[in-house]
Structure 1
Amino acid sequence: MLGPLTTSGFEHKWWFLFVFVVIGLVGLYVLALISRRRRLLRFANMDILERVAPTGSRRWRHLPAILLVVALLASTVGLAGPTHSVQIPRNRAVVMLLIQVSPAMTATDMAPSRLVAAQQAGRQITEQLPAGINLGLIAFSGTPAVLVSPTIDHQATMTAIDKLQVSYRTAVGDAIFAALQSIATVGAVLGGGSGAPPARIVLESTGRENHPPDPDNPRGEFTAARAARDQGVPISTIAFGTPNGTIQLDGAHVSVPVEDDALKRVAQLSGGHAFHVDNTAELKTAYASIQQQIGYETVRGDNSTSWFRLGVLLLVCAALAGLLINRTLPN
């Protein structure tokens, strides 16, 4: 009913000078009480007053004044223009979704398979992004393929996700570089006089890069992550699978354990966040967090209404308390 009463700052701090007025009113109230008591001591028989005055009334007679003071203080906070953090949907951003399609993603340690789980995550992220975000899709194995260039037509990405095909080898670094190129291209078009729009990469992988095998190679994933950081593009990584993943390759069982340490390093180097999922519940948590990061931005919003509501509520309570306790409005 009241709304959040949190604050992160104030737009008109000089209104807090009104607190001195409130303090002055409290002082006048105290002086009035002292003066009233002196008059009673001078002209009244205190023994008789103590016997006839209701005990409950004496105990609660200051409540209306206290509520009135708190109401004035709450209203003062409202006048000072309190602000708080508010999340609003982005209407100008670029997101590149990178999904690994090498044979390691066919492991069934995540039901029904890592690749299907990655497709589900991709669809969930796509469905929940604000309509104004430009979303692109890259499928990568030995070479990256830009299936959808960044566009606000999110249905195109959904359709492409459903048609992913498995291919050999894994080149995470090349995929990141391809994503950065797509971001730069659309950023040049969308930027205009207000600068390039914010961008982010979402990387879904097992973390096993083998092309090139050295992640610090000029085409390696760590090198690409540093380039992303230099361009202000954080990478959110999702590692799919467990250490016990296996696949059938040429009639033999091949171990394909998830290597999330590499993906954690990619996220760290780029300034992004890393997630490791090996079940549906963890996957939902990961994509919900990523969706919040890339779909919304935090801004300072006005929060004075909540404080004014509190002030009015306390003022009404003060009036009612005055009528019920003292049979009059508080002075």
Structure 2
Amino acid sequence: MTLPLLGPVSLTGFQHIFWLLFFLVVVAGLIGLYVAAQLARRRRLQQFANTELLDSVAPHRPSPWRHAPAALLAISLLLCTIALAGPTYDQRLPRNRAVVMLAIDVSQSMKATDVEPSRLAAAQEASKKFVDELTPGINLGVIAYAGTATVMVSPTTNRDASRRAIDNLQVADRTATGEAIFTALSSISTVGAVIGGGDTPPPARIVLFSDGKETVPNNPDNPKGAFTAARTAKDQGVPISTISFGTKNGSVEVNDERVPVPVDDEMMRKIAQLSGGESYTASNIDELNKVYATLQDQIGYETVRGEATTGWLRLAALTAALAAVASLLVNRRLPL
């Protein structure tokens, strides 16, 4: 949380937990001394004053508001204690060096109309929305894959190029998921070598969009298979976020015959698991948009630990000032 003029006063941890505990004990001791002083004062009053005469001479008891300045001062000390302990807060910052490869399946099964108007048309619409909303500083590349994988757009911050590539997607035969992943890894490696701004390669992610299982090669554990590629991605520190799109009732027409093309969630989940990524499913355009929105939030921003000392110090100073004002108004003197 950020307050105007005060700065961030959120709290997720401390840099110096020892000082926090030490000064908390000190503040607790001061509060205890104040309470003990008030009790001692009351005992002295009861010892040397006639309570019946006191009731007639001073029928109005002191207002409990007389303790407000001391309470505010104690709160100020607590806030100072938090500030001295080095409070930290989590802040979300847009990524600028990240690389994202969007690999879209354009096999014949993407012509299925179980998702209106078709799986491919819905994928194009949602993917362009994802491109438009992705953090501007991210380098985005687009790959289309069927029997082979083609880099439509190398990683770039030019969103118009990515949109045009998605508009031009055309279906083809077979599904080489492993080749698509290896192609994405190659593009990431190439652009990572030329992107500056850090001592380490830029963070990267592959978003793999498909509706069915790999058909080339037949075994996903082959050297060029999807599972082998997913393990390679894990070794290179590139997680794969998979999106399974479609329903179990999908079908396409081949030579005047209806051929069922049910979505294959299991393979996509295994690819994500092997790579250290996450898997998502969507059976309509609305669900797909929600998946892309989730990915945009994960990919487009990073959470870093920030220092919040200044905000807590300012809040402590403000509370101390309120304690002084309250003391002048209630007790007609500054708190000592």
Q: Same fold judged by TM-score > 0.5? A: yes
The answer to whether 1:10 aligns with 2:20 is: no
The answer to whether 1:205 aligns with 2:205 is: no
Query: 1:318 and 1:141, CA in 2 relative to 1: closer, same or farther beyond 3 A?
Result: same
Query: Counterparts in 2 of 1:127-138, with a 5 A limit?
Result: 127-138=132-143
Query: How many angstroms apart in 1 are the aligned matches of 2:83 and 2:255?
Result: 71
CA deviation after TM superposition for structure 1 residue 101, in Å:
0.7
Query: How many angstroms apart in 1 are the aligned matches of 2:246 and 2:8?
Result: 40
Q: Which residue of 1 aligns with 2:124?
A: 119
CA deviation after TM superposition for structure 1 residue 299, in Å:
0.8
Question: Is the deviation greater in 70-79 or in 178-187?
Answer: 70-79
Deviations 1:102-150 (A, max 9, x none): 1211212222221122212321222222222211110001100111111
Aligned counterpart in structure 2 of residue 39 of structure 1, from 35, 38, 44:
44
The answer to whether 1:82 aligns with 2:87 is: yes
Query: How many angstroms apart in 1 are the aligned matches of 2:52 and 2:243?
Result: 80
CA deviation after TM superposition for structure 1 residue 64, in Å:
3.6
Q: Is the 8 A contact 2:97 2:197 kept in 1?
A: no
CA deviation after TM superposition for structure 1 residue 15, in Å:
4.4
Question: Is the deviation greater in 290-299 or in 41-50?
Answer: 41-50
Query: How many angstroms apart in 1 are the aligned matches of 2:200 and 2:226?
Result: 27
Q: Is the 8 A contact 2:110 2:211 kept in 1?
A: yes
The answer to whether 1:176 aligns with 2:181 is: yes
Q: What TM-score do the two structures reach when normalised by structure 2? A: 0.88
Query: How many angstroms apart in 2 are the aligned matches of 1:141 and 1:291?
Result: 25
Q: Which residue of 2 aligns with 1:284?
A: 289
Query: How many angstroms apart in 2 are the aligned matches of 1:50 and 1:270?
Result: 81
Q: Is the 8 A contact 2:212 2:261 kept in 1?
A: no
Q: Is the 8 A contact 2:126 2:285 kept in 1?
A: no
Question: Is the deviation greater in 64-73 or in 163-172?
Answer: 64-73
Q: Which residue of 1 aligns with 2:148?
A: 143
Query: Counterparts in 2 of 1:128-277, with a 5 A limit?
Result: 128-190=133-195, 194-277=199-282
For the aligned residue pairs, the C-alpha RMSD in angstroms reads: 2.5
CA deviation after TM superposition for structure 1 residue 96, in Å:
0.6
CA deviation after TM superposition for structure 1 residue 74, in Å:
1.9
CA deviation after TM superposition for structure 1 residue 322, in Å:
4.6
Q: Is the 8 A contact 2:99 2:203 kept in 1?
A: yes
CA deviation after TM superposition for structure 1 residue 25, in Å:
2.5
Q: Which residue of 2 aligns with 1:103?
A: 108
Question: Is the deviation greater in 79-88 or in 194-203?
Answer: 79-88
The answer to whether 1:28 aligns with 2:43 is: no
Query: How many angstroms apart in 2 are the aligned matches of 1:313 and 1:107?
Result: 64
Question: Is the deviation greater in 262-271 or in 303-312?
Answer: 303-312
Query: How many angstroms apart in 1 are the aligned matches of 2:174 and 2:86?
Result: 57
SS in 2 for 1:86: strand
Deviations 1:238-288 (A, max 9, x none): 111111112222211111111111101111100011110112332222111
Query: 1:176 and 1:319, CA in 2 relative to 1: closer, same or farther beyond 3 A?
Result: same
SS in 2 for 1:209: coil
CA deviation after TM superposition for structure 1 residue 206, in Å:
0.5
